[in-house]
């Protein structure tokens, strides 16, 4: 076996054999295949695609590059959720304790933000003392004692994916649907969850801009999960407008706690409950009511135990940015558009995100929304508030907001986009 023949097969639109896939993943993980060779293969996959058998084998090879976790010792069925990433997407924070309060165990392996999309671990690290890095034994203990854990994936889980993802990020191949699907599913299958709900974002603030691409990605991942014995379902959800009223780390934690306290923005509550119902159904739990668990405080109780179990102080004051800048509405009327991508870029430029994985983030930085599409606004009223510790970033962030909204004359009819666009199982 040699890497040149593997590259040529996919370059010429051929089908990679199982032996070719197993060999190239293993050889790349061991350093036998060079980065420039794997980047050539990744580009060939981006341009020419993979069929279902190839994607399944590629995913299996990445799983085989590391360890597999097992939750058979737990007394509860396991259910996990994965989002493909968006702006203001803090759903994991209230969702994990909510599903745990309803009887499932939620082993939530999460990631960090990159570019305009926020990262769950970055958000939670704004809580003083909270730890993202847990050993497998610590993760199992927190899961067993609280019902939910949100943490970083260990180094032993699908190491081939870690190496390949970093390469894709710098070679223009992140958008390859076969590689996105296998990247997500290799980690989730290796994690050992019994069921999985996928939140596939669609719109300007998502990696999948069209419903067709999102449906293809969702179908591919559902097939991979099903073929591996993991009950998998996907919801396609709107990401043309930011979720909730905040985009930024501590800002989103604050909003998530509001949801757990029985309040919070309606769209965040709606999607949290929709995903909770899917997770509970996939786990075989039929008699629980997630809406009730939000209102009666039981989800909040799990949140507090989960945060404390990972070293965090659930009562601690969250960081607040030192500087603010208010953006006002330029005219009166109906706000008909507020672009998620532009808001995400602004939050990133203010310090809430990173350009490289090793870059630090500001816990208090981000964007606060004072209106959402469909709201009536008055000229001069606050539309957005920008938060940062470094005020010299304001001008750079404001440039991303030059054409971020539309305001129509008062009385203009507005039809909101549904949050859940489709379901694939």
Answer yes or no: 219 catalytic. no
183, 228, 256, 404: which one is catalytic?
A: 183
Helices (H), 229-265: 249-260
From 161, 238, 267, 342, the catalytic residue: 161
Known active-site residue 161: yes
- Type and span of the H or E element at 82: strand 79-83
* Annotated catalytic residue, options 57, 81, 82, 90: 82
Cα–Cα distance, 313 to 364 (Å, whole number): 17
- What one-character DSSP code corresponds to residue 117? B
Q: Which residues make Cβ contacts (< 8 Å) with residue 102, sequence separation at least 6?
A: 276, 280, 285, 288, 289, 290, 293
313 classed as catalytic: no
Please tell me the distance from the alpha carbon of residue 5 to that of residue 370, in angstroms, as a whole number: 56
Active site residue 169: no
Rounded CA-CA distance 290/98 in Å is 7
Q: Phi-psi region for residue 103, left (φ > 0), alpha (ψ -120 to 50) or beta?
A: left
For 95-98, which contacts have Cβ atoms below 8 Å and span 24 or more sequence positions? 95/272, 95/275, 95/276, 95/279, 96/148, 96/149, 96/150, 96/306, 97/147, 97/148, 97/260, 97/299, 97/300, 97/302, 97/303, 97/306, 98/260, 98/272, 98/276, 98/290, 98/293, 98/294, 98/299, 98/302
Per the residue annotation, which of 187, 201, 231, 393 is the catalytic one?
Answer: 187
Contact (Cβ atoms closer than 8 angstroms) between residue 407 and residue 377: yes
Strands 79-83 and 195-202: parallel
Is 337 assigned a catalytic role? no
> How many CB atoms within 10 Å of residue 334?
19
Q: In 133-280, where do the E strands start and end?
A: 148-152, 195-202, 231-238, 246-248
The residues that bridge with 388 in the sheet, in sequence order, are 323
Burial, 30: exposed, middle or buried (Cβ in 10 Å; 0-12, 13-18, 19+)? Answer: exposed
* Positions marked active-site: 82, 161, 168, 183, 187
């Amino acid at each position: 076996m040699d890497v040149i023949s593997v590259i040529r097969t996919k370059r010429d639109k051929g089908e990679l054999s199982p032996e070719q896939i197993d060999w190239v993943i293993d050889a790349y993980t061991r350093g036998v295949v060079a980065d420039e060779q794997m980047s050539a293969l990744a580009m060939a996959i981006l341009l020419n695609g993979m069929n279902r058998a190839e994607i399944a084998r590629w995913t299996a090879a990445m799983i085989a590059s590391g360890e597999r976790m097992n939750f058979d010792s737990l007394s509860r069925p396991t259910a996990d959720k994965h989002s493909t990433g968006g702006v203001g997407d803090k759903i994991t924070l209230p969702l994990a304790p909510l599903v745990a309060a309803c009887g499932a165990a939620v082993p939530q392996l999460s990631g960090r933000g990159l570019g305009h999309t926020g990262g769950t671990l970055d958000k939670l690290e704004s809580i003083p003392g909270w730890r993202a890095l847990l050993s497998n034994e610590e993760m199992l203990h927190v899961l067993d004692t609280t019902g939910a854990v949100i943490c970083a994936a260990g180094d032993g889980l699908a190491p081939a994916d870690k190496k390949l993802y970093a390469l894709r990020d710098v070679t223009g191949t992140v958008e390859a649907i076969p590689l996105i699907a296998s990247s997500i599913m290799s980690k989730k299958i290796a994690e050992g969850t019994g069921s999985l709900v996928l939140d596939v974002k669609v719109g300007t603030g998502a990696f999948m801009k069209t419903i067709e691409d999102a449906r293809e990605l969702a179908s591919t991942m559902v097939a991979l999960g099903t073929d591996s014995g993991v009950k998998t379902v996907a919801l396609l959800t709107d990401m043309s407008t930011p979720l909730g009223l905040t985009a930024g780390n501590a800002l989103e934690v604050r909003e998530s706690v509001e949801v757990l306290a029985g309040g919070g923005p309606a769209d965040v509550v709606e999607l949290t409950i929709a995903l909770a119902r899917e997770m509970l159904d996939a786990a075989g739990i039929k008699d629980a009511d997630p809406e009730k668990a939000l209102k009666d405080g039981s989800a909040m109780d799990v949140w507090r135990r989960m945060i404390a179990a990972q070293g965090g102080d659930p009562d601690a004051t969250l960081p607040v940015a030192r500087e603010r800048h208010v953006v006002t509405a330029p005219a009166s009327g109906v706000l008909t558009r507020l672009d998620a991508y532009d808001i995400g870029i602004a939050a990133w430029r203010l310090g809430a995100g990173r350009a490289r994985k090793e870059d630090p983030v500001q816990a208090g930085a981000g964007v606060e929304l004072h209106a959402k599409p469909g709201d009536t606004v008055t000229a001069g009223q606050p539309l957005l508030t920008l938060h940062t510790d470094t005020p010299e970033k304001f001008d750079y962030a404001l440039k991303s907001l030059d054409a971020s909204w539309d305001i129509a004359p008062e009385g203009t009819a507005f039809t909101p986009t549904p949050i859940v666009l489709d379901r694939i199982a």
